[in-house]
Amino acid sequence: MQFLNPVFLYAGLLALVPLLLYFFRRKSKTVRVSSLLFFKTLAREHQESAWLRRLKKLLSLLITLLIMAGAVLALAGLTASPRPDDFRHLVIAVDRSASMSATRDGATLLQQAVDDLDTRLAAVPASVPVAVIAFDARPEVLLAATTNRRDVQRTLERLQARPVAADPDAALASARRLAALDHPAQIWFATDQPPPPPADLSDPSDLSDLSDATETPADLRWFQHALAEPVNAGITAFQIRPSPLQRGRFQAFVQVRLNAAAAGAREVTLELRLAGYPIQLRRLTLDPGQTESLVLDLEGVEGQLLEAEVSCDDDALAADNWAGTLLPELRPLVVAWYHEPGQGDPFTGFALQAIAAADRVQVFTGGPGAWPPREGADVLVLDGWLPDQWHADTPAVVINPPARLAPLPVTPLPGRLPRDQIRVTNPGHPVLFRVPGTRVSLTQTSAIDATGSLEPLWMADNDAVLAAGEIQGQRLVLLGFSPQRSEFLPLSAAYPLLLGNAVLWAAAAGEESAATIAATGELVALAAGPDMDTHAIDAADAATNGALAIDWQQWDGRSLVSQSITLTGPLLEIDRVGLWRSDHGRRGAGILAAPGETDLPALDPEAAATTALVADTPGAWSGRLRGDLAPWLIGLALLLLLLESWLFHRHAVH
Amino acid sequence: MMSSPGPSTSSAAAAEAGSDSWLDPAFLDRLRALFLRLRKRRQLRRKGVQATPATGFTREFKDFRHYTRNDDYRAIDWRLYARLERLFVRLYEEVQEFNVHVVVDTSASMAQPFADKRIHALKLAAALSYLGLVSQHRVCLYAMSDRVVTELPPVKGQGSIRKVIDILDHLEFDGATDLERCFNEFRPPRQRYGIIFVISDFFGRDVGTAAQALQRCSNWPGESHFIQMVHPKERDPGLEGEVELVDVETGEHRRLWFTKRDMERYRRVFSAFETELARGCLSRQIDFLPWQTDQSFEDQFVELLSRGSALAHG
């Protein structure tokens, strides 16, 4: 019980008027008349006993006071919802991620969350400012602290779920920062995710930089809106790449997952379509929480639309059912091979010549005088040579480094170590694609420190002789051996495969095809002109060129629907599932590819019980009366008015 | 001839009237002047008019007629017989003696809540008695409430005015009016033929009681005059809102809520009551005069007598 506008309670002083009138009312005038003959013929009389008259007057006073009380309480905004802990500031964080578009009883979870927040909001005093944050991959402050409830309601009602993965932690941190501006504050966190353990919620570590807020963390109310028994199968990863050394063939990597909260195993159908025609159909039986990865070979022509769609009975979320992209354009891969003049490894040269093709891979040879590499090289192959200063912008394959150079975690050995036993640690790594790991003997020349972000692929005893990974955003493949001094490897087909895989894997991060498929929520930098092949963010160019039109082929759950938007900045946020194309010719695809969204959680009964309105708790008198009681009070006042009219005025003569 | 009471007489009567102000010396003076005015009018009216066709035994000769059997032989004019040899009897003027019956309603409603009604009623009774006494009529006083009580048996002579005033002054206005019983009990004998004045408000137990009671008045010996004492507030009480009414006669309480429409209805009901009473009186050859207590007593009194009362003819 609380009052939204307690100032109107002063209107209750008006009750003094009927009280004064009652206690100091003018007594009825007594008139002596010669005869009552003529008065008796008039209309009905007020003939009643004195006690009944007093009772009626008292009853009339009580009814009048009740009517006034009802009106005053209605004006004061009496609400039956329980008064939460006192707070002066409210921050509402609403999950608008893809999973909130799951439907329950014909309404999305987001709509239900908004309705629930509206109801709860009615119980918040009007003087408490409310801020609204909508979050998916990033939190967005839609409304700063305001006491205008209509704005808040309009903002909430305008919310729409976006096919973007959610990052509740970032949203919670933002909400806490907002809440810290004016405490005591309360945070209402509406999402489909179950609440984390209380220990995590109460940890204000993210506010450590706020000196004035750490002492009084905001009271967090977690409202989970989820399906009771959700079933959802979706694509959690999708990628396409040309098959190595196979013209016109591509490999599609598709990862399908069934949410862990599903009641049981489900049969999931994966359909691949190329240019609208089905080319492959896979039926998978997935257990709850199981993820199935598929590499599918296909033939196609660049520019053709490749679609992957999964379907499942009772599927609750459509945004993750589709993934697609245009088959990538095959631009020649430029490999810059650096070595000391005349000291290039012949086997490396043979291998590069083996993978070189006019329209696929172009290999350029250069020495120390050609360093640094020109713009346009996709992969650097440093063969027995290292520059004085490392070039960190281009992926590199480092073979037999002669010296130590930061940031490469490679240390040359003083001598050479023949290695006959090579142990493959990760045979599924793309660098080792179809590379036999047995009967390989090497001559190790360097020691690789693969304890960081590098992954050791070949181990000789306890030393990594082959490692791949990223260092400071740069893909690196490190070969700690000398090919020409090794016996078996260079002479077999394994080395060209290994080098080709290394080049292709290193170049994959910078390939055009990789950039065209983006997970929703990511930002894609759009260059100002079609001839620019780099994606550097250039805000000045974008501002110079003005607005950019983006045509979307948006996945609406059943088909692709055309939609155009205008982009005013240099960054395109991938906020929908589908294909996009800018008027400068840039193309791309957006897919959800978020295991966290596909894995729809079930409604946590304990969380539902704790986050339900306190009014529902036993002992609360107003189990049915929620929110604003004004309609009830006005109805009560009208009922009392009718009762008074019937009791006291039905025989009145006017 | 009648003699009018002197100022000393009226002043003494007024002094004896006590604290009640219904009788004051000025009133008696005005009454005397009124009497003189009436006598003058009566004299003017008697020119060429025979007072009464009846014959009597006064010394005033009136006519002759043939003697018939059973005539009083003492009335034979022997001188005329000697001349004409036919028997004639002499006829003389007959002087009639009226009985003036003044019935005063002494119910509580005549004194409360409007004392003007009592004052006017007493003044009117006194005036009528005075007029009767100075005209050598016999005057009787009656008090009427739930029954009729003879307060003053027939008296004659203007010297009896003091007695009349005393009686009137000591009348107790109390109780309820029972018109039917009173009119039924009030039966003056034939020998007391005269003029009957009933001074009342005629408020009975019911609205139609007065009209029904008029049936009892058909065989009253003499001409009847009904004077209805009405206070303006009784015609238009001017009440509004919640009012507790108390009947001064019965003590009955009624709580009513009045609106203007109720007042309009009340006025209509009261007017219908008066109309019904007047119509009943007219149908029984009873003179009916509504007496307004807020209007001039003299004017209304003259109007009463000028409506053909025998009292006015002396």
Q: How far is B296 from chain A (nearest CA, A)?
A: 22
Can you give the pLDDT at residue B50?
A: 42
Domain identity same for B225 and B101: yes
What is the SS3 assignment for B41?
helix
Most confident of A413-422, A514-523, B35-44, B210-219: A413-422
- Name the class of domain A235-330: mainly beta
Q: Residue A346 — very low, low, confident or very high, per pLDDT cuts 50/70/90?
A: confident
A23 to chain B, closest Cα gap in Å? 17
B251 touches A: beta carbon within 8 Å: no
Q: Are residues B302 and B225 in the same domain?
A: yes
Q: What is the pLDDT of residues B178-189, one digit of tens each?
A: 888 888 888 777
Interchain contact, B241 vs A29, CB within 8 Å: yes
In this structure, of A114-128, A588-602, A630-644, the range with the lowest mean pLDDT score is A630-644
Q: Give the pLDDT of residue A92.
A: 92
Rounded to the nearest integer, the mean pLDDT of chain A is 80
Structure-block tokens of residue A394: 């281009």
pLDDT confidence bin for A370, thresholds 50/70/90: confident
- Pick the range with the lowest mean pLDDT from A101-115, A226-240, A526-540, B227-241: A526-540
Interface contact flag, B246 A37, Cβ < 8 Å: no
Based on the fold, state whether residues B69 and B140 are members of the same structural domain. Answer: no
Chain B nearest-CA distance from A50, in A, is: 11
Q: Closest residue of B to A26, CA-based?
A: B242
**Residue A76 region by backbone torsions, left for phi larger than 0, else alpha for psi between -120 and 50, else beta:** alpha
Helices in A546-611 by DSSP H: which ranges? 595-598, 605-611
> Of the candidates A617, A643, A652, which has an alpha carbon nearest to the alpha carbon of residue A59?
A643
Question: By C-alpha distance, which of B25, B219, B225 is closest to B125?
Answer: B225
Considering only CB atoms, A45 lies closest to which of B117, B250, B256, namely B256
| Inter-residue contact A412 to A444 (CB < 8 Å) | no
* pLDDT in the model for residue A235: 92
Whether A543 has a pLDDT exceeding 60, the answer reads: no
Residue B93 has pLDDT above 80, yes or no: no
Give me B141's structure tokens: 């006083």
The predicted structure's pLDDT at residue A57: 80
Average pLDDT over residues A113-141: 88
Nearest CA in chain A to B239: A31
Q: In the predicted model, is pLDDT for residue A116 greater than 80?
A: yes
Residue A343: the pLDDT is: 84
**Lowest-confidence region among A83-97, A202-216, B103-117, B294-308:** A202-216
Reduce the DSSP state of residue A69 to 3 states and report it: helix
- What is the per-residue pLDDT across A74-100, written as a single tens digit (0 to 9) for each? 888 777 654 555 677 889 999 999 999
- Domain at A89-226, CATH class: alpha beta
Name the closest residue on chain A to residue B268, using Cα atoms: A38
| Residue B2: inside a domain | no
Contact between B33 and B189 under an 8 Å Cβ cutoff? The reply is no
Q: What is the pLDDT of residue A309?
A: 93
For residue A653, which residues of chain B lie inside 8 Å, CB to CB? 257, 259, 261-262
The pLDDT assigned to A533 comes to: 39
Element spanning A347, H or E: helix A346-355
Contact B256 A32 (CB under 8 A): no
For residue A333, the one-letter residue type is L
Helix or strand (DSSP H, E) at A298: strand A291-299
A165-179, A309-323, A495-509, B1-15 — which is least confidently predicted?
A: B1-15
Q: Does B243 touch chain A (CB under 8 A)?
A: yes
Pairwise CB contact (< 8 Å): B266 & A45: no
CA distance A532 to A511: 14
Query: Pick from B239, B266, B273: which is nearest to A31 by CB?
Result: B239
Would you call A414 exposed, middle or buried from its count of C-beta atoms within 10 A (0-12, 13-18, 19+)? exposed
State the pLDDT at residue A131. 92
- Is the same domain home to B86 and B194? no
Residue B194 within a domain: yes
**Is the bond preceding A407 in cis, omega lying within 30 degrees of 0?**
yes
Vertex A628 angle, CA A627 and A631, to 5°: 130
* Nearest Cβ partner for A654 among B252, B259, B270: B259
A166 vs A123, which has greater pLDDT? A166
Among A33, A45, A53, select the one facing B113 at the smallest CB separation.
A33
Which residues does chain A have within 8 Å of residue B205's beta carbon, measured at their own beta carbons?
37
When scoring A25, A31, A33 by the number of chain B Cβ atoms within 10 A, the one with the most, hence best to mutate, is A33
Domain that holds residue B89: 55-93
Tens-place pLDDT, residues A505-540: 888 755 544 447 888 888 888 754 444 333 434 444
Q: What is the average pLDDT across B108-136?
A: 87
- Tens of pLDDT, residues A216-235: 567 888 888 888 888 999 99
- Is the preceding omega at residue B153 within 30 degrees of 0, hence cis? no
How many degrees, rounded to 5, is the angle at CA A612 between CA A610 and CA A618? 85
CB-CB neighbors (< 8 A) of B243 in chain A: 28-31
Judge if B200 and B128 occupy the same domain. yes
Query: How far is A484 from B101, CA to CA, in rounded Å?
Result: 168
The 8-class DSSP code of residue A576 comes to S
Partner residue opposite A28 with nearest CB, options B204, B243, B261: B243
Predicted pLDDT of residue A149: 87
How many Å apart are CA B156 and CA A269, to the nearest integer? 139
Which has more confidence, A287 or A648? Answer: A287
* pLDDT surpassing 70 at residue A62: yes
Within 8 A of A41 by CB-CB distance, chain B residues are: 207, 265, 269
Task: Choose among A197, A183, A189: nearest CA to A135.
Answer: A189
Query: How confident is the model over A119-142, as a mean pLDDT?
Result: 88
Chain B residues near residue A46 by CB distance under 8 angstroms: 242, 255-257
Residues B215 and B83 in one domain: no
Residue A194 has pLDDT above 80, yes or no: yes
More confident residue, A125 or B111: B111
A89-226 and A235-330 agree in CATH topology? no
Inter-chain touch A36–B206, beta carbons under 8 Å:
no
> Is B255–A28 a contact, with Cβ atoms under 8 angstroms apart?
yes
Give Dmax over CA atoms of chain B in angstroms.
90
What is the pLDDT averaged over residues A361-377? 83
Q: How many Å apart are CA A305 and CA A204, to the nearest integer?
A: 48
Does one domain contain both B60 and B189? no
> The CATH number of the domain where B151 resides is what?
3.40.50.410
Domain A513-591 sits in CATH at: 2.60.40
Query: A418 has which bridge partners?
Result: A443
Question: Does a structural domain hold residue B29?
Answer: yes
A327's tokens: 């088959």
Q: What is the pLDDT, as a whole number, of residue B16? A: 40
Do the domain assignments include residue B50? no
Q: Is the pLDDT of residue A329 over 90?
A: no
Q: How many domains does chain B have?
A: 2
Residues of chain A in Cβ contact (below 8 Å) with chain B: 28-43, 45-48, 53, 652-654
Contact B246 A39 (CB under 8 A): no
Domain boundaries along the sequence of chain A: 2-79, 89-226, 235-330, 333-510, 513-591
A556, pLDDT greater than 50: yes
Query: Across residues A596-609, what is the average pLDDT?
Result: 79
Q: Which residues contact A485 (CB under 8 A, 6 or more apart)?
A: A416, A443, A445
- Residue B40: pLDDT band (50, 70, 90) is low
Cross-chain residue pair A30–B207, CB shorter than 8 Å = no
Question: Which token pair is A248?
Answer: 């016109």
Are B187 and B84 in the same domain?
A: no
pLDDT of A69 strictly over 70: yes
Q: Which residues pair with B101 in a beta bridge?
A: B140, B196
What's the pLDDT tens digit per position in A387-421? 988 888 889 999 989 888 888 888 898 888 888 88
Q: Write down the pLDDT at residue B150.
A: 87
Of residues A32, A40, A653, nearest to B259 (C-beta)? A653
* pLDDT band with cut points at 50, 70 and 90 for residue A650: low
Look at residue B312 and give its three-state secondary structure.
Answer: helix
Interface contacts A/B by beta carbons within 8 Å: 97
Does the A333-510 domain belong in CATH 3.40.50.880? Answer: yes
* CA A117/CA A111 separation, integer angstroms: 10
Question: What confidence score (pLDDT) does residue A421 get?
Answer: 82
Average model confidence (pLDDT) for chain B?
79
How is residue A34 written in tokens? 């010669």
Q: Which residues of B touch A32 (CB under 8 A)?
A: 112-113, 245-246, 248
By Cβ distance, the residue of A43, A46, A653 closest to B255 is A46
Inter-CA distances, A58 with A19, A51, A401, A532, Å? 10, 10, 104, 90
Co-location of B246 and B216 in the same domain: yes
Among A564-578, B1-15, B57-71, the range with the most confident prediction by mean pLDDT is A564-578
Under the banding of pLDDT at 50, 70 and 90, the label for residue B47 is very low
A468: confidence class by pLDDT, cuts 50, 70, 90? very high
Q: How far apart are CA A347 and CA A400, in angstroms?
A: 13
pLDDT of A424 above 80: yes
